[in-house]
């Protein structure tokens, strides 16, 4: 969306009608009875209605103007989703749009920041028609209204495939008050929100796996994968009591490890205390090797929970503040001297095959 249309731009530029080499139901080419979709038509028809804030300048300029907010710092984060990597080719695109917003909101949640607005980049496979684009825009509209966001600008391009979307999210935090990864110290308590392993199991369920679980359990887990719940309600509790925090996107072990690296300390995780949902607990009960199952849940990723640290003297207050905000926080370990992450099960040191998801 870097070359915004002026009010007088009405013409269409040529566009290929060739579908992607591996088309999915979501990317099925141009709609019948409609010509190719021009980028300016996409902006005007689907995105301008999402950009109601004056800062966006009606999406008629090459940039937005964000006014300063006295006493606050602007927090910026960015995540991208790639078809076939972060979502399945046949996932509904309104849900993909919601997931794009939510995975970015998860980063702001871990920083204790208040969401403000976003910049959007889309790379549509050539030949993509109106139906998938409008479905994607509906998903954006639904979640930006729910979370109080506005579209500020961005870019749109075409690609031979696959579909790629990226969102840059802006938020506000009181000056100097962002919760960083680097504040943990030996003696701190490690806590995690929500439940762990649902995203990893949810991907398996969405791919048609987990036949040993009920239809209801599989559907619930797939929903957790497709539409995570960012822990924005934790913002006040984290700012008031946490020493460090990170969102759990690549896996609890990996993301706790990022706190360890930034803070130059050692994180010790007691995985027997990992909070599990009922479907995840039922899956674990059916595993022949419970230890291996717990390690897999803790390394799986896509949970978008928050792992954080707090002084021992503040830990109970943090748990209470989180509960009052409607979010469960549980103790899962401690911070010690040294470096890296140690994982334990009932006091025994165990070594996971992998700590979490990594892009090659």
Task: Give tens-digit pLDDT for 243-275.
Answer: 999 999 999 999 999 999 999 999 999 999 999
Query: What is the distance of C-alpha 30 from the center of its chain?
Result: 30
pLDDT: which is higher, 28 or 237: 237
- Beta-ladder partners of 240: none
Residue 37, pLDDT score: 77
Query: Which spans in the chain are helix H?
Result: 39-42, 93-111, 130-147, 198-206, 215-226, 235-241, 252-263, 278-285, 290-299, 312-324
Beta strand pairing call for 340-345 and 266-270: parallel
Instruction: Say which DSSP state 44 is in.
Output: I
Q: What is the mean pLDDT of residues 197-224?
A: 97
User: pLDDT-derived band of residue 46, with 50, 70 and 90 as boundaries?
Assistant: confident
- How far apart are the two ends of the chain, measured CA to CA in Å? 29
Lowest mean pLDDT among 113-127, 143-157, 317-331, 342-356: 342-356
Which residues are registered as beta bridge partners of 159? 125
Residue 304: left if φ>0, alpha if ψ -120 to 50, beta else—which one?
left
Give bridge partners of residue 151 from the DSSP assignment. 118
Rounded Cα distance between 192 and 189, Å, is 10
Q: Is 354 left (phi over 0), alpha (psi -120 to 50) or beta?
A: beta
What pLDDT is recorded for position 6? 28
- 16 versus 291: which is more confidently predicted? 291
Structure tokens at 209: 């796996």
Taking residues 167-186, report their average pLDDT.
96
Q: At 20, is the secondary structure helix, strand, or coil?
A: coil
Per-residue pLDDT tens for 111-160?
999 999 999 999 999 989 999 999 999 999 999 999 999 999 999 999 99
Q: Which of 238, 26, 222 is nearest to 134 (CA)?
A: 26
Asked if residue 20 has pLDDT above 70, the reply is no
Distance CA(85)–CA(127), nearest Å, equals 21
Residue 74 has pLDDT above 60, yes or no: yes
For 54-71, give one letter per residue: b (16+ CB within 10 A) or e.
ebbbebeeeebeeeeeee
Task: Please say whether the beta carbons of 123 and 85 come within 8 A.
Answer: no
Helix, strand, or coil (residue 83): strand
User: Given pLDDT bands bounded at 50, 70 and 90, which one contains residue 26?
Assistant: very low
pLDDT for position 4 = 29
Residue 106 in tokens: 């998860």
Average pLDDT over the chain reads: 87
Is-contact 202 224, C-beta < 8 A? yes
Q: Give me the torsion for CA of 302, 303, 306, 308, rounded to 10°.
A: -80
| Unique residue bearing structure tokens 């990893």 | 200
- Which has more confidence, 40 or 292? 292
* Band of residue 56 on the pLDDT scale cut at 50, 70, 90: confident
* pTM of structure: 0.86
Q: Is the pLDDT at 42 greater than 90, yes or no?
A: no
85 pLDDT band (50/70/90 cuts)?
confident
pLDDT value at position 161? 85
Q: Are 267 and 246 in contact (CB under 8 A)?
A: no
């Amino acid at each position: 969306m870097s070359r915004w249309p002026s009010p007088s731009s009405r013409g269409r530029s040529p566009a290929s009608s060739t579908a992607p080499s591996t088309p999915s139901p979501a990317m099925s080419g141009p709609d019948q009875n409609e010509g190719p979709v021009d980028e300016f038509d996409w902006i005007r028809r689907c995105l301008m209605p999402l950009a109601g804030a004056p800062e966006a300048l009606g999406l008629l300029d090459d940039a937005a103007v964000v006014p300063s907010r006295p006493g606050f710092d602007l927090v910026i984060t960015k995540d991208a989703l790639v078809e076939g990597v972060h979502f399945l080719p046949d996932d509904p695109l309104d849900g993909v749009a919601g997931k794009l917003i939510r995975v970015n909101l998860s980063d702001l949640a871990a920083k204790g920041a208040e969401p403000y607005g976003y910049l959007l980049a889309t790379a549509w496979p050539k030949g993509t028609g109106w139906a998938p684009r409008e479905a994607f825009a509906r998903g954006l509209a639904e979640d930006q209204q729910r979370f109080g966001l506005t579209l500020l600008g961005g870019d749109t391009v075409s690609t031979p495939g696959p579909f790629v979307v990226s969102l840059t999210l802006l938020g506000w935090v009181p000056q100097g008050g962002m919760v960083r990864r680097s504040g943990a110290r030996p003696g701190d308590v490690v806590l995690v929100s929500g439940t762990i392993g649902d995203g990893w199991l949810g991907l398996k369920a969405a791919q048609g796996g987990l036949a040993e679980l009920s239809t209801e359990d599989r559907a619930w887990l797939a929903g957790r994968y497709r539409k995570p719940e960012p822990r924005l309600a934790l913002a006040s509790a984290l700012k008031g009591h946490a020493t460090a925090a990170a969102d759990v996107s690549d896996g609890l072990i990996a993301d706790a490890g990022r706190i360890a690296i930034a803070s130059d300390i050692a994180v010790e995780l007691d995985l027997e205390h990992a909070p599990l949902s009922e479907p995840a607990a039922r899956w674990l009960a059916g595993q022949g090797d419970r230890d291996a199952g717990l390690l897999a849940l803790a390394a799986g990723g896509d949970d978008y929970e928050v792992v954080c640290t707090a002084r021992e003297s503040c830990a109970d207050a943090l748990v209470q503040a989180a509960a009052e905000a409607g979010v469960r926080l549980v103790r899962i370990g401690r911070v010690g001297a040294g470096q890296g992450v140690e994982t334990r099960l009932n006091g025994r040191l165990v070594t996971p095959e992998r700590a979490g998801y990594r892009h090659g």
